[in-house]
Every structure is written in structure tokens, then in C-alpha cells.
């Protein structure tokens, strides 16, 4: 990729998307357009510093609206798309799968078509430089049986939840648009992310905030499910590395090399809070006493673990954070940024979302 690039990030107000934008603004000279429909998990508060840059702009657009996408492509003229817009909460997908089908499958199809319409009209050199980078999840691979097994880029897909099935579908669409139409794509599948600005419904922030409020800390089943944890800023670095040097048509697995049982994650957070927030809510003697085992999630996968050796050998990337260093940074961030999560919990983050910034551009075009 030649610098500076013009990168269109979909879902840039989400957890991983906002981390990616903060990284790009802080570490490159690239122009960034953030395209986000601002569903409940979209939070522009997470982009306060990035939005002050004259290299950043925001489009309030749903990826299911093809005409609006065409206008964004025409106006911003991206050299790359980094597609992160997705519904991503497994429990929500079980209770209401329709939104996941619409956004993750129909939305990805609509975005691919808009990108193809734009790409085919580019001059030859720009056409060769263009990239469509699709960011996905390791959950598309399903469950691992053996304790030493790892997901590789060739592991067969076996999704278990409506969420992971919808992401698997989107992965297949992206590869089909490459195979059939020649669209220059890159696909990455990542393990569980964690870190600052994580929406409170997800495990790690949910544990931290429930503990600070003296509320029960729910753990599914016996807490033996194993996940590979990836610090979100390490993920942002990896995504930029793939966009810069990845081979067209290839898939890259991005993992943190940090397998932990869910119960171990929860207990680690409780121990850190004992050290870092010793003034407990009334009636709480030990944070770990708040741990409450609840009925397991339907279709809950037991173990995920990624082999990220391709990223290391071919692109020279490896995570900088261990789980121990990353989780300490994360707990510290939530303790020191109470205003951010208070605004999420009370709903204030939804107010004045588009603000008065000149970098904000609202484009809501509906399909005719």
C-alpha cells in the first residue's frame, strides 16, 4: 500500500473498529472515513481524540443501504475498505437472529457490491492497489476437541450459534467475490478481543463493572470454557500489517497466544480489583464471592485456540501483550475512565451522537 492511504472503516464506532481508527490516526498519515450506523454498541465517545484529527471523517450510514454506500465511495474514494461492521453478541443472536442475518450477511453482500461497482471503474493502477479487508472471528470454526488442537487458516467451518453462522456466511461471500469477480480481498479471523472501550455487555467489562457495583458476576456452566484472548491494540496492529503486506485472496488467523478458562479470567479480574480497588461496595468482603454460576448458554463451544504462526512467519507480527499485562491495563483503564462507562450504562452516550464536528457527515440514504 502506498502512503498515505484512504481507508474506509465500517463499524468504526464499535470496540475493535474504534481501536483500529485510534491506531491509524495515531501511527500513520492515512485518511480515515468511519462508516457506522450507530446501533446500541456504536459509541462515538470512543473516538473523541481521533475525531479531532483533520484526517478523520464520519458517515452515519447502514451497510445495508447500497445507494448511500455508493455516495460514500464516490465522495471519499478509498484505497482500501476494512470491514468490521457486524452484530457480534452471541446471546443476542440466540434471542434474535434476524438482525445478525441482516447486518452480517445482507450487509456484507451490499457492501461487496458497492465496493465492486467502485473498484471496476478505477484506473488500472488504483484498481491494482485497492484492497477489501474483511475482519471476522475464530467462532466460524466451531469447537476444538483435543487439548492441543488449534484453528488454522484451513480448519473447516462448523459454526455453532446464529452469530458465528452469519459471520461464516459473510466470510464465504467475501471469498466468492474474489473468486468470481476478482475483487482483491483479504480475510482475517481473530480470537476473543479485550481492552479499553469494550462495550459492557461483553465478559471482561461485565465482570469488572458488576464487581465494582457489588452485583453478582455470572459465569456460564462451570466456567471451564477456554478462549484465546487478544489485546485489542495488538489486533489493530495486526490488521494494519495485513492490509499493508497481506497476499490478496489469503486468510490470516490473529490470536493472542493466551488460552484461559472463563473462570480463570473472572478470578484474575477479581484478584486485580482486590489490589487496585480495595474499597469495595457495601456488603462485599471479597470480589470473588460475587461469582455466580448460571445455566450454560445453548450450543456453547468449549474451546477456541488460534494458530497465528502464519501472521508471524509471513508478516512478522506477534502480540506484544501477555494476558497478564493486558488484563492489568484493562482493569486499570476501567477504574480510571468511569465517565466513559457511566455514559454507556445510563444511555447518555446515545445523546448528541453526531455532534457539531465538521468531520461528521450524515448520509442516511434509503434504498428506493
CA nearest to 351, candidates 15, 44, 11: 44
In this prediction, residues 96-104 reach a mean pLDDT of: 96
Q: Quick one: pLDDT band at residue 330, thresholds 50, 70, 90?
A: very high
Distance, CA of 275 to CA of 187 (rounded, Å)? 40
Give the tens place of pLDDT for each residue, 155-210: 999 999 999 999 999 999 999 999 999 999 999 999 999 999 999 989 999 999 99
Q: What is the mean pLDDT of residues 94-116?
A: 97
pLDDT band at 365 (very low <50, low <70, confident <90, very high): very low
Average pLDDT for the chain: 93
> What is the mean pLDDT of the segment spanning 321-349?
96
- What does the pLDDT read at residue 212? 98
Is the pLDDT score of 355 beyond 50? no
Q: What pLDDT shows up at residue 368? A: 25
Task: pLDDT band for 148, please (50, 70, 90 cuts).
Answer: confident
Residue of 354 and 300 predicted with greater confidence:
300
What does the pLDDT average to over 35-56? 96
pLDDT band of 304, cuts 50, 70, 90:
confident
CB of 59 closer than 8 Å to CB of 65:
no
In a 10 Å sphere around its CB, with 0-12 CB exposed, 13-18 middle and 19+ buried, how is residue 121 labelled? exposed
Question: To the nearest whole percent, how much of the chain has pLDDT over 70?
Answer: 94
For helices 338-345 and 323-336, angle between their N-to-C axes, nearest 10 degrees: 70
- pLDDT band, residue 353 (cuts 50/70/90): low
Four-residue CA torsion sign, 117, 123, 124, 128:
negative
- Domain borders along the chain are 6-194+230-257+304-321+349-361
pLDDT over threshold 60, residue 354: no
Cα angle, residue 296 at apex, residues 293 and 301 outer, rounded to 5°: 125
CA distances from 95 to 104, 158, 162, 190 (A): 16, 20, 9, 24
Strands (E), the chain: 6-10, 31-36, 56-60, 80-83, 131-137, 185-190, 192-194, 217-220, 226-231, 251-254, 259-261, 291-294, 360-361
- How much is the pLDDT for 14? 96
31 bridge partner residues = 6
> What cell numbers appear for 295 in the block?
445455566
Identify the pLDDT of residue 362: 45
Q: Cell 500513520 identifies what position?
A: 28
Q: 137 in helix, strand or coil?
A: strand
Superfamily for domain range 6-194+230-257+304-321+349-361: NAD(P)-binding Rossmann-like Domain (3.40.50.720)
Query: What is the residue whose three cell numbers read 512467519?
Result: 313
**Residue-wise pLDDT tens digits, 199-239:** 998 999 999 999 999 999 999 999 999 999 999 999 999 99
Q: What is the pLDDT of residue 105?
A: 98
Active site residues: 138-139, 163
> pLDDT (tens digit, 9 = 90+) per residue, 53-76?
999 999 999 999 999 999 999 999
Amino acid at each position: 500500500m502506498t502512503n498515505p492511504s484512504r481507508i474506509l472503516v465500517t463499524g468504526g464506532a464499535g470496540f475493535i473498529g474504534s481501536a483500529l481508527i485510534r491506531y491509524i490516526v495515531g501511527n500513520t498519515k492515512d485518511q480515515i472515513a468511519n462508516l457506522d450506523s450507530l446501533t446500541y454498541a456504536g459509541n462515538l465517545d470512543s473516538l473523541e481524540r481521533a475525531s479531532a484529527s483533520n484526517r478523520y471523517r464520519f458517515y452515519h450510514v447502514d451497510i445495508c443501504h447500497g445507494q448511500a454506500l455508493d455516495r460514500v465511495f464516490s465522495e471519499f474514494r478509498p484505497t482500501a475498505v476494512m470491514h468490521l461492521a457486524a452484530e457480534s453478541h452471541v446471546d443476542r443472536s440466540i434471542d434474535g437472529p434476524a438482525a445478525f442475518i441482516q447486518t452480517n450477511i445482507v450487509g456484507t453482500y451490499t457492501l461487496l457490491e458497492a465496493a465492486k461497482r467502485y473498484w471496476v471503474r478505477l484506473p488500472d493502477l488504483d484498481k491494482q492497489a485497492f484492497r477489501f479487508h474483511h475482519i471476522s472471528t475464530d467462532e466460524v470454526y466451531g469447537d476444538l476437541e483435543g487439548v492441543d488442537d488449534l484453528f488454522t487458516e484451513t480448519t473447516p467451518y462448523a459454526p455453532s450459534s446464529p452469530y458465528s453462522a452469519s459471520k461464516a456466511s459473510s466470510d464465504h461471500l467475501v471469498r466468492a467475490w474474489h473468486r468470481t469477480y476478482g475483487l482483491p480481498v483479504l480475510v482475517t479471523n481473530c480470537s476473543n478481543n479485550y481492552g479499553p472501550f469494550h462495550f459492557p455487555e461483553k465478559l471482561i467489562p461485565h465482570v469488572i463493572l458488576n464487581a465494582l457495583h457489588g452485583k453478582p458476576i455470572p459465569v456460564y456452566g462451570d466456567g471451564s470454557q477456554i478462549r484465546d484472548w487478544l489485546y485489542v491494540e495488538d489486533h489493530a496492529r495486526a490488521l494494519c500489517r495485513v492490509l499493508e503486506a497481506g497476499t490478496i485472496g489469503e486468510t490470516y488467523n490473529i490470536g493472542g497466544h493466551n488460552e484461559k478458562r472463563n473462570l480463570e479470567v473472572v478470578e484474575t479480574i477479581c484478584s486485580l480489583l482486590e489490589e487496585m480497588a480495595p474499597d469495595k461496595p457495601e456488603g462485599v468482603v471479597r470480589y470473588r464471592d460475587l461469582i455466580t454460576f448460571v445455566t450454560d448458554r445453548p450450543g456453547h463451544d468449549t474451546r477456541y485456540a488460534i494458530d497465528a504462526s502464519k501472521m508471524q512467519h509471513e508478516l512478522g507480527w506477534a502480540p506484544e501483550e501477555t494476558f497478564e499485562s493486558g488484563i492489568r491495563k484493562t482493569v486499570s483503564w476501567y477504574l480510571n475512565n468511569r465517565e466513559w462507562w457511566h455514559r454507556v450504562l445510563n444511555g447518555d452516550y446515545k445523546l448528541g451522537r453526531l455532534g457539531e464536528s465538521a468531520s461528521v457527515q450524515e448520509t442516511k440514504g434509503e434504498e428506493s
